[in-house]
Amino acid sequence: MHTTDHPQVIMRRRPSGFDLKRFLLGLLLISSPVVLCATTLWTTHQEMTTARADYLRTEDEVGRLRMETERLKEEIHGLREDRQVIERIAREELHMLRPDELIISFPDVQQPVGQRRR
């Protein structure tokens, strides 16, 4: 056999010094996911804080609206059923009288005589 029939293996030695490129590449590969995770966690925390504040505001508004609804239900019940409430509204807002009542109006004493209504 001839020596050229066998493949020749050439061994290179790795440089023994510090390789800055390799170090920076490794640092980039490790730090990128860490930064991405930290950013995602921070953003999620901020969104959760905002959502919690919105929820509490909405909960307060719902409570206020429920109380207002109950007050209005009571008012509606009074308007439908309570004769005194119905009479008060008829007198104050509609200026209605009972059949046996009479309105007597007097001129306003504060106004000078020439400006009184006739």
Q: What is the pLDDT along the chain (118 residues), one digit of tens a residue?
A: 555 677 777 777 766 677 888 889 988 899 999 999 999 999 999 999 999 999 999 999 999 999 999 999 998 988 888 888 888 888 888 888 888 888 787 887 676 655 655 4
Q: Are 79 and 86 in contact (CB under 8 A)?
A: yes
What whole-number distance in Å separates Cα of residue 109 and Cα of residue 116? Answer: 9
Distance CA 80, CA 110 (A): 41
State CA 16 to chain mean position distance: 61
Whole-number pLDDT of residue 15: 63
Taken in order 78, 82, 83, 85, the sign of the CA dihedral is negative
pLDDT at position 69 is 97
pLDDT given at position 46: 96
3-state secondary structure of 109: coil
Of 113, 87, 112, nearest in space to 101 by CA: 87
| Residue 62: predicted pLDDT | 97
